[in-house]
Structure 1
Amino acid sequence: MAAEHGLILDFTTVLGASAFGGYLANRLRQPVLLGYLVAGLALGPYGLKLLSDVPRIQSLASIGVAFLLFALGVEFSLTELKRVKDIAIKGSLLQIGLTTALVAFLTIALGWVDNFTQGIFLGVVLSLSSTAVVLKTLSERGETNTLHGQVMLAILIAQDLALGLMLAFLPVLNQPERLAWAISMALLKVLLFLGLAIAFGRWIVPKLISNVATTESTELFVLTVIALCLGVALVTAKLGLSIEMGAFVAGLMVSEIDHADHALAKVLPLRDTFACLFFASIGMLIDPVALIQNLGLVLGLVTLVMLGKAIVLMPIILKFGYSLKTTILTSLGINQIGEFSFVLALAGLQLQLISERTYLLLLETTAITLVLTPISLNIAPQLLERLTQLPFFAKSLRQFTEPNILSIPETISDHVVVAGYGRVGQVIVNILLNQGYIVLVIENSETAIQRLRMQRIPYIFGDADSELVLEKTHLETAKALAIALPDPASSRLLLKRALALAPKLDVIARSHHDNEIDLLTQMGAKEVVQPEFEAALQLGAHLLATLGAAKNQIDQVITDIRSDRYRSIRPGR
């Protein structure tokens, strides 16, 4: 009983410290993820030592990873997965192979390892990136549905898939004659799991979830979804694959059924609770004393790893036809060392592929890169904007931002430019076309471009916030610009550049967060729309009509709220 009370106390302590750390990070305008990491550092065995059972907390933290990837799978449908399958499979293999080869060559040339086998092992460890940290940061920034967000996640998921192969060949890395057999068995496990998952997801999961939903019992529905998520993750763990892959596949199973949104809504609170445990557990691995003693070496390794991985990634992403913006944001987003590198590093230590000192250096370097990831993702848009302002840089990379796929009438004028052809953009385009307006769409999704091509709607393939793309849209003769992009940073940059080209242009923008409403208005947007507020206004209008209010009174209420930029209904006002 005392042990159980100790676990409850540890659990409560970590959650409380994480909440406090997250609050401070938010007040300092930093990602709350940094607050969780610092909380773990403060509480852990190298900090104040306030936890009695750190291994148990770290075990519970793996549930957070499972829920993170399950939620991603539900949101990241098979359609979206097909869209980035080339960069996910071929791009990931190239990245892992080139990173491993480069690290092996450098470590042998510099004398950091004794033989080629150890160099390959270090390359494999450093080739992985962190799905959990990147996913959490993208979610906080509202960028999981952006093109660079989906490219990042596609590569990361493929890396998680490759983890099973890595764990399989590590024990026989010193025995080349057994290497082919080990890799073949690992591939067989992966194919067997994927085959069963496809069959299970097509014929069993939809019926199971539907039958449970008909009971109208929230408890049963939540329990079923949790059991499915953790059960599939456990199966992959038993097969020697990553729990991340299992949880993601479980999410994909659910994503194709009618109750996907309901399942996601029930899992989100659990995901956020256990995810903070995971990030705090990473902070517990950082030894401040060892870090200070080896500060110069660790910082050098961190710089080498993060710059090196970004440099390896850039040409690979460009090779697959993505723009300079997507390339830079993706490269700076997944240039850390992944949390499952801890697993590989421990296995390498037990197999004597690395020394204990190298193992400790890997732990410190990995933990620091994970801490720096949210910062790297935050500064990437500003860095991109500064780079594109350098004449020699912009000129040398013009070929990667110049829109080479476009379908625009030569004499287009009096048209409406719509940036983004997602769910919001499609509705806007349909409304305009039905009223007889000429529309030009800017989109960087090949899937969306195919739909535009089939519907014979004029389009430009490229990033809407690119100056080179905007030059092709004839904004000077356009009637208006509608910004319906999923990325807040891109929306702001597009607004700024569009008004620089056409100062008198009427711009209507979509706001993602409350604090963007005033910002976009001050930047020059004629109208800023917040989707959640608009949904609330429509519900309120219908409710007032039901209660007997006159139509002109309802219209006046709605008009007043919109003209005041939603100030009267914003939370906290």
Structure 2
Amino acid sequence: MAAEHGLILDLTTVLGASALGGYVANRLRQPVLLGYLATGLAVGPYGFKLLSDVPRIQALASIGVAFLLFALGVEFSLTELKRVKDIAIRGSLLQIGLTTALVASLTIALGWVGGFTEGIFVGVVLSLSSTAVVLKTLAERGETNTLHGQVMLAILIAQDLALGLMLAILPALKQPESIALALGIALLKVLLFLGAAIASGRWIVPKLISNVAATESTELFVLTVIALCLGVALVTAKLGLSIEMGAFVAGLMVSEIDYADHALAKVLPLRDTFASLFFASIGMLIEPGVFIENLGLVLGLVALVMLGKAIIVMPIILKFGYSLKTAILTSFGINQIGEFSFVLALAGLQLQLIPERTYFLLLETTAVTLVLTPISLNIAPKLVNHLTQMPLFAKSMRQFAEPKSLSIPESISGHVVVAGYGRVGQVIVNILLNQGYLVLVIENSEAAIQRLRMHRIPYIFGDADSELVLEKTHLETAKALAIALPDPASSRLLLQRALAIAPELDIIARSHHDREIDFLTQMGAKEVVQPEFEAALELGAHLLATLGEPKTQIDTVITNIRTDRYRSIRPDR
């Protein structure tokens, strides 16, 4: 009983401190993730030593990773995976290979490692990036569904798949002649697992979830979803693959069935709770004594890793036809060392591939890069905006921002330009087409472009906020512009550049956050729509009608709220 009470006390301590740390970070206008990391350092074995059983807390923290990746799998459907499959497979292989080769060459040449094997191992450890930290940061910023967000997650997921292969071939590094056999066995495990997962996702999981949902028992539904997520993650762990891979695949199984949104809604609270444990557990690994003793070396390694990986990733993204803006945002997003590098480093220490000093340096360097990741993601958009103002880089930005392809009538005028062909953009386009308007769509997703080609809707394939793309849209003769982009920064830049081309153009913009409503209006948008508020207004209107209010009175109430830019119903007021 004493041990159980100790665990409850430890959990209470970590969760309570995380809530406090997250609150302080939020008030300082920093990502709450930084608060969680600082919390782990404070309560952990190298801080105030408030926990009695750190390993058990860290074991529970791995559940947070599983739920994070399960939720991503539910949202990141197979359709989205196909959209970025090339960059996910070939791009990630290039990134891992180049990072490993460059790190090994540099560390061996400078004498930082004891030989070829140690150099290769350190390169492999540094090649991984953090799915959990990047995903959490993108979610907080509302950028999970942006193009750069999808590219980042595609590469990260491929890295997670590669982790299982890395763990499988580690023992063979001591005996190079057996690497081929170890790699073959690992690939066979992956193929067998994916085959079983595809079969289960098609014939077993949908029936299971449907039967459980038919009971109308919330408890049974939640238990089934949790068991599926953790069960598949456990299977991959037993196969020597990563739990991230299993949880993500479990999410993909659920993503294609009717109850996907319901399952996601039930898992989200658990995901956020255990994710805070995970990020706090990373903070617990930071040992201030080792950090201070090797301060110069650790900071040098951090700078080398984050700048070096950004330099490696950027040309790879450009090679696959993405814009320079997407390349910069992606390279600054995945230039850290991943949390599962801890696992690799520990395995390397146990196999005597690296000495203890190298192990501790890798731990400290990894932890610092994870702490800096939210800052790096905040800097990237500002860097892009700054570069566009510099003549030296502006030319390069324009060169890589050229439309990849377009399908526009020779003489187009009196049309409506719709930026973004996601769920919102598709509805706008359908409404306009049904009323007989000529529409031109700007989109940077190949899957969306294929749908536009199939329906013979005029389009431009490129970034909507690119000046070169906007030059092709004939905004000066357009009737209106509807901005339905998933990225707030791109929406603001597009609005600014569109008004510079056509100052009198009527522009309707979608707001992602409450604070953007006034900002976009002041920038010149004629109408700013907040989707959540609009849904609430429709529900409110129907409710008032049910209560017997006359239609004229309902229309007046709704119109006044919209005219006042939702001020009377904003939560912060």
Q: Closer, same or farther in 2 for the Cα pair 1:558/1:367, shift >3 Å?
A: same
Percent identity reads 88
Letter in 1 for 2:541: A
- Alignment match, 1:448: 448
Q: How big is each residue's C-alpha offset from its partner over 1:307-341, in whole Å with a ceiling of 9 and x where there is no partner?
A: 11111111111111111111111111001000000
Q: How does 1:383-394 map to 2 (within 5 A)?
A: 383-394=383-394
User: How far apart, CA to CA, are the structure 2 residues paired with 1:523 and 1:388?
Assistant: 19
User: How far apart, CA to CA, are the structure 2 residues paired with 1:337 and 1:540?
Assistant: 48
Equivalent residue of 2:114, what SS? coil
Q: CA deviation at 1:397?
A: 4.5
- Alignment match, 2:136: 136
- Alignment match, 1:314: 314
User: How far apart, CA to CA, are the structure 1 residues paired with 2:186 and 2:307?
Assistant: 31
Equivalent residue of 2:410, what SS? coil
- Alignment match, 1:118: 118
Q: CA deviation at 1:176?
A: 1.6
Q: How does 1:26-105 map to 2 (within 5 A)?
A: 26-105=26-105
Q: Is the counterpart of residue 519 in structure 1 residue 500 in structure 2?
A: no
Q: CA deviation at 1:343?
A: 0.6
Give the alignment's TM-score, normalised by structure 2: 0.99
Equivalent residue of 1:418, what SS? strand
Letter in 2 for 1:547: L
User: How far apart, CA to CA, are the structure 2 residues paired with 1:494 and 1:396?
Assistant: 19
User: How far apart, CA to CA, are the structure 1 residues paired with 2:5 and 2:194?
Assistant: 40
User: How far apart, CA to CA, are the structure 1 residues paired with 2:80 and 2:37?
Assistant: 31
- Alignment match, 1:539: 539
Q: How does 1:378-417 map to 2 (within 5 A)?
A: 378-417=378-417
- Alignment match, 2:3: 3
Give the alignment's TM-score, normalised by structure 1: 0.99
User: How far apart, CA to CA, are the structure 2 residues paired with 1:381 and 1:230?
Assistant: 36
Q: Answer whether contact 2:398 2:466 (CA < 8 A) is retained.
A: no
Q: How big is each residue's C-alpha offset from its partner over 1:166-210, in whole Å with a ceiling of 9 and x where there is no partner?
A: 011111102122111111111111111111111111111000000
Letter in 2 for 1:109: A
Q: How big is each residue's C-alpha offset from its partner over 1:218-239, in whole Å with a ceiling of 9 and x where there is no partner?
A: 0000000000000000000000
- Alignment match, 2:173: 173
Letter in 2 for 1:561: I
Equivalent residue of 1:507, what SS? strand
- Alignment match, 1:195: 195
Q: Is the counterpart of residue 279 in structure 1 residue 270 in structure 2?
A: no
Q: How big is each residue's C-alpha offset from its partner over 1:494-521, in whole Å with a ceiling of 9 and x where there is no partner?
A: 1111112222211111011111111111
Equivalent residue of 1:504, what SS? coil
Letter in 1 for 2:343: V
Q: How big is each residue's C-alpha offset from its partner over 1:315-374, in whole Å with a ceiling of 9 and x where there is no partner?
A: 111111111111111111001000000011111111111111111110000000000111
Q: CA deviation at 1:410?
A: 2.9
User: How far apart, CA to CA, are the structure 2 residues paired with 1:271 and 1:417?
Assistant: 39
Q: How big is each residue's C-alpha offset from its partner over 1:95-133, in whole Å with a ceiling of 9 and x where there is no partner?
A: 111110001100111111121111100110000000000
User: How far apart, CA to CA, are the structure 1 residues paired with 2:193 and 2:265?
Assistant: 27
Letter in 2 for 1:75: E
Equivalent residue of 1:417, what SS? strand
Q: How big is each residue's C-alpha offset from its partner over 1:215-269, in whole Å with a ceiling of 9 and x where there is no partner?
A: 0000000000000000000000000000000000000000010000000000000
Q: How many residues align?
A: 573
Equivalent residue of 1:473, what SS? coil
- Alignment match, 1:351: 351
User: How far apart, CA to CA, are the structure 1 residues paired with 2:250 and 2:455?
Assistant: 35
Q: CA deviation at 1:411?
A: 2.0
Q: CA deviation at 1:394?
A: 2.2
Letter in 2 for 1:297: L
- Alignment match, 1:500: 500
Q: How big is each residue's C-alpha offset from its partner over 1:394-423, in whole Å with a ceiling of 9 and x where there is no partner?
A: 223533111131112232122111110001
Q: CA deviation at 1:292?
A: 1.6
Q: Which moved more, 1:284-293 or 1:553-562?
A: 284-293
Letter in 2 for 1:360: F
- Alignment match, 1:435: 435
Q: Is the counterpart of residue 376 in structure 1 residue 376 in structure 2?
A: yes
User: How far apart, CA to CA, are the structure 2 residues paired with 1:116 and 1:401?
Assistant: 41
Q: CA deviation at 1:138?
A: 0.6
Q: How does 1:209-228 map to 2 (within 5 A)?
A: 209-228=209-228
User: How far apart, CA to CA, are the structure 2 residues paired with 1:486 and 1:95?
Assistant: 27
Equivalent residue of 2:286, what SS? coil
Contiguous gaps of at least 5 residues in structure 2: none
User: How far apart, CA to CA, are the structure 1 residues paired with 2:454 and 2:143?
Assistant: 28
Equivalent residue of 1:442, what SS? strand
Letter in 2 for 1:137: T
Q: Answer whether contact 2:131 2:156 (CA < 8 A) is retained.
A: yes
Q: CA deviation at 1:523?
A: 1.3
Q: Answer whether contact 2:143 2:486 (CA < 8 A) is retained.
A: yes
- Alignment match, 2:249: 249
User: How far apart, CA to CA, are the structure 2 residues paired with 1:462 and 1:78?
Assistant: 23
Q: Is the counterpart of residue 486 in structure 1 residue 452 in structure 2?
A: no
Q: CA deviation at 1:444?
A: 0.3
- Alignment match, 1:473: 473
Q: Answer whether contact 2:398 2:467 (CA < 8 A) is retained.
A: no
User: How far apart, CA to CA, are the structure 1 residues paired with 2:457 and 2:208?
Assistant: 42
Q: How big is each residue's C-alpha offset from its partner over 1:526-568, in whole Å with a ceiling of 9 and x where there is no partner?
A: 1110111111111111111111111100100100110111111
Q: Which moved more, 1:287-296 or 1:253-262?
A: 287-296
Equivalent residue of 2:306, what SS? helix
Q: Which moved more, 1:91-100 or 1:171-180?
A: 171-180
User: How far apart, CA to CA, are the structure 2 residues paired with 1:400 and 1:217?
Assistant: 53
Q: Answer whether contact 2:416 2:437 (CA < 8 A) is retained.
A: yes
User: How far apart, CA to CA, are the structure 2 residues paired with 1:362 and 1:424?
Assistant: 44
Letter in 2 for 1:277: L
Equivalent residue of 1:338, what SS? coil
Equivalent residue of 1:173, what SS? helix
